[in-house]
């Protein structure tokens, strides 16, 4: 994951061993109160912890009144997996 002025590049992984560092960077960015962009050109891995982080990011955005945009490209099979497992609401965030 790389930090940029405009946001956080997730580098393709939303998995348990990456989330602690991502959450720390995200929380620091939200404290600044400026709009934030979470992005990745290609999500390779995603697990339940990654899904929980996306929910957390959306919640923190609303609670702290900090606009957060999600710019991800998911493979069709990842989109289908989210839909079939009850996470279709995340697909609205990830447009």
Interatomic CA distance for residues 56 and 64, integer angstroms: 12
* Phi–psi pair at 37, nearest 5 degrees: -120, 120
Give yes or no for residue 21 having a pLDDT over 60: yes
* Amino acid 64: pLDDT: 93
pLDDT for 29-78, tens place per residue? Answer: 999 999 999 888 788 888 999 989 988 998 999 999 999 998 877 888 88
Please report which confidence band the pLDDT of residue 27 belongs to, taking 50, 70 and 90 as the band edges: very high
User: Which residue spans within 1-95 are E strands per DSSP?
Assistant: 2-4, 7-9, 13-14, 36-40, 45-46, 68-72
* Amino acid 8: pLDDT: 87
> Residue 86 gets which letter from DSSP?
T
CATH 3.30.750 describes domain 2-93: yes
Q: Does residue 23 or residue 40 have the better pLDDT?
A: 23
* Amino acid 9: pLDDT: 86
Q: Backbone dihedral region of 33: left (phi > 0), alpha (psi from -120 to 50 degrees) or beta? A: left
């Amino acid at each position: 994951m790389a930090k940029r002025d405009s946001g956080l590049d997730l580098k393709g992984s939303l998995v348990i061993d990456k989330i602690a560092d991502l959450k720390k960077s995200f929380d620091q960015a939200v404290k600044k109160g400026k709009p934030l962009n979470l992005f990745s050109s290609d999500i390779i891995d995603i697990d339940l912890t990654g899904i929980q982080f996306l929910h957390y990011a959306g919640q923190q955005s609303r609670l702290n009144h900090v606009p957060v945009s999600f710019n991800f490209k998911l493979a069709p099979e990842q989109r289908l997996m989210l839909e079939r497992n009850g996470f279709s609401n995340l697909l609205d965030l990830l447009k």
